[in-house]
A and B are shown apart, each in its own frame.
Chain A
Amino acid sequence: MSGEPLAQGTSRRGGSLRGAGPMRRGDALADLGFTEVPTTQDGGADTMRPGALRGAARGRNLDGLAHALFLRLSPVIAAVVLATQVVIAWVNYGDQIRIEGVRAQMMADMTARALARPGWATAYDPQLQALALDPAFRYAVLRDASGSMVGRLGEEPRGRNFERIQVSAEINPGPADQPAGSLTLALSAEGLRANAEKQFVMVLGASLALILAFALALRLAVGRHVLAPLRRLLSAMGQVEHKEWVTVDLAGRHRPSREIADISAAFNRMVEGLRSGDEARHLLAELERTHARLAEANGLVMESLGYARRIQQAVLPGANALREAGLEVAVLWEPLHVVGGDYYWLEEIDGLGIVVVADCTGHGVPGAFLTLIVATALDRILHDQGLRRPEAILAALDGVVRARLRQDAGASGGAPDGSDDGLDCGICVIDRASGTLDFAGAGLALTMLVDGEITRIKGRRHGLGYRRTGREEALAGTTVRLRDGQTFFLMTDGVSDQMGGMSRRLLGHRGVAEILGRHRDLPLAEQVAALETALAVHRGAEPCRDDMALVAFRPTMG
């Protein structure tokens, strides 16, 4: 029977409308290409773990989002569309059944009316044949008043009665002599059911097509404008996690949705901020490394210079070296750069006090080299050659320096890039026995303080050494008679060349003389200390310009 499968189908599909739905996860959607994914909770836990962005960046969890969206929405839409269409179909079907019933009744009535004439019980055939013309006709039976069958057409149907429409009509011929009867007509309802079934299948098909179209459109739109940009964002985040400062391109062919565009723009700004912060950190770290290297290099140089200073100080004589010669001595020696080119020599030889102050060109290590040449030369001049006249000592020193530095090598005074170095030098030879002081200077003057009065005895203008220019003056000595109250100073130009003061100019030897005069009543050592303090006051914030060396001496009483 064709009715049976239909009844089963209706009951099965009807169940789907009331229940949770026949579309379990994975049947229809799986056909659309969606695959099983981990649950959202798992995905959330993943992103909490450090480094989890790498997995997330591959987009699995984004597919999870899409799936969740489609799986929740699609059954609801499918159920609503199906329910609506099935209710409409059901109502339609009911109407059809009712109209068909009315038509069947009308046909039965019309045939019964047509039969209602005498002798109907024998002449019924044409009317029954007319009924059989109806395509839905299944079966008709005529019965007389006693209920016994008079005639029939078609096969008597079996089975449930909802597969057919069955109506009856009374046959009433009118006159009492004519027996009455009844006509029973059965029409098939199969056509109607087939129609309803067709309609249902069409509705189902349309619903599926709708869901498919919806799912595809949603997936395409979400994929292009949400998932792909999110995937790009996540991938960029993964790279940023590893300090690759990439930004997200917002201009692509498929523009991201507004919210994601906003997030991406914020992300890009954050990356720019991180990048510049990272660069600044790198620069700072680089700077710190460089600084550490410089500090180490500087430490080595300073250590080396400290060692050099100990050597240079060892070469310098002690301040009491001239006690035997009857001289009180105070010394100020302060190289600009730990070691320097200023040098002094104090020695008592055969009762003579010899004071030498030299200012070699340059300061620091180059100056210190020259002081060692001067020290060696003085040793030879004073002890080997036995010279005692200051101008003779200067001349000899000049010769040794030129020879040592090969300044007289070429006809034009040495190679063009050879040494053009030398020194300013002042020498005093004090003879307590004869009460005289002999002085000779080359670029270095003798300052004499007597009863608050300053006298300055200049030597030759040009120093010793240097390439010959042919303009050098001759070296000459000056003799000063010793008497009480005299204090002598030999000092390098570093002492008087103190830049500073209100007008920011050099203190000059007049300024130094004024300071010395102010403190003339102090013991010699304190006088020198006072000068040093006053020089620092004059300099103020200005740095020292040169090495400083000063030897102060006065004949001791008695």
Chain B
Amino acid sequence: MDRIQIPATSRSPLVDFDFPAGRLLLRGESYPEDAAAFYGPLLQALRACLDEEGGPLIVDVALSYFNSSSAKALMNLFMPLEDAAEEGREVTIRWLYAQGDDTIAEAGEDFAADFSHARFEMVQETAA
């Protein structure tokens, strides 16, 4: 499984899915015109990665804004992760949010409710 790296744009986040290292990262803002087109290939790659045997997986999500289509796309990404964790894979999702950003923190808490097997950590980032 190759590493996927996509630079951030004003409407889409930085993507760094380092499958060999088991580290996945989304950082920035996410409101692409066509969220399905942006996240579709990422979801396929993630599914392919989870189908293979592998070590622990750490997924960092550090979004400062995402629209409802992106929220839906994130949910679609999280579901196979939760399923993999249920099947015994060690999966950790780290929800990174800026200190004082209640909206993103709350959204993280909402997503956390979907996980019972994967670890979902809320990580507050202090302003750089």
Contact = CB atoms under 8 A, between A and B. Distances in A.
A-B complex is real: yes
Given A499-B64, A546-B31, A505 B72 contact: no
A508 B102 CA distance: 7
Given A503-B98, A506-B101, A420 B79 contact: no
A466 B79 CA distance: 14
Contacts of A443: 68
A483 B101 CA distance: 33
A481 interface: no
A490 to B, nearest CB: 15
Chain B at the A interface: mostly helix, strand, loop or mixed?
helix
B9 interface: no
B127 interface: yes
Interface in A474-498: 493, 496-497
Contacts of A509: 103
B65 interface: yes
Nearest to A493: B68
A59 interface: no
Nearest to B113: A461
Contact of B114 (A361, A471, A507, A508): A471
A545 interface: yes
Contact of A508 (B69, B103, B110): B103
Residue from the set B35, B103, B104 with the largest chain A CB neighbour count within 10 Å:
B103
A498 to B, nearest CB: 9
Residue from the set B65, B113, B114 with the largest chain A CB neighbour count within 10 Å:
B65
Contacts of A229: none
A101 interface: no
B103 A359 contact: no
B45 to A, nearest CB: 15
Contacts of B67: 493, 497, 545-546
A491 to B, nearest CB: 13
A357 to B, nearest CB: 13
Contact of B100 (A362, A463, A469, A505): A505
A273 to B, nearest CB: 39
Contacts of A422: 72
Contacts of B60: none
Measured as residues with beta carbon below 8 angstroms from the partner, the interface class of chain A is 20 to 34
Nearest to B101: A505
A499 B67 CA distance: 12
Nearest to A504: B64
Interface in B79-103: 79, 98, 100-103
Contact of A503 (B31, B103, B113, B127): B127
Contacts of A493: 67-68
B21 interface: no
A510 interface: yes
A424 interface: yes
Nearest to B70: A361
B124 to A, nearest CB: 13
A510 B102 contact: yes
A503 B68 contact: no
B79 A469 contact: yes
Interface string A509-542: 1100000000000000000000000000000000
A471 B79 CA distance: 9
B75 A469 contact: yes
B114 to A, nearest CB: 6
Nearest to A359: B68
B1 interface: no
B8 interface: no
A521 to B, nearest CB: 26
Residue from the set B68, B75, B79 with the largest chain A CB neighbour count within 10 Å:
B68
A420 B100 CA distance: 33
B65 A506 contact: yes
A496 B102 CA distance: 11
Contacts of A503: 98, 100, 127
A499 B72 contact: no
Interface in B94-128: 98, 100-104, 106, 110, 113-114, 127
A41 to B, nearest CB: 70
A443 B35 CA distance: 18
A252 B72 CA distance: 73
B98 A497 contact: no
A506 B64 contact: yes
B68 A505 contact: no
A359 B98 CA distance: 26
Residue from the set A496, A503, A509 with the largest chain B CB neighbour count within 10 Å:
A503
B34 to A, nearest CB: 8
A505 B103 CA distance: 9
A209 B115 CA distance: 114
Contact of B69 (A361, A496, A505): A361
B110 A420 contact: no
Interface in A422-443: 422, 424, 443
A477 to B, nearest CB: 20
A369 to B, nearest CB: 14
Contacts of B76: 420
Nearest to A462: B75
B103 A496 contact: yes
Given A505-B101, A508-B102, A499 B65 contact: yes
B110 A505 contact: no
Nearest to B44: A416
Given A496-B103, A506-B101, A545 B68 contact: no
A361 B98 CA distance: 26
5 contacts: A466-B72, A506-B104, A507-B103, A508-B103, A546-B67
Q: What 4 A-B pairs come out closest when comparing CB atoms?
A: A508-B103, A506-B103, A505-B101, A361-B69
Interface of B: 29, 31, 35-36, 64-65, 67-69, 72, 75-76, 79, 98, 100-104, 106, 110, 113-114, 127
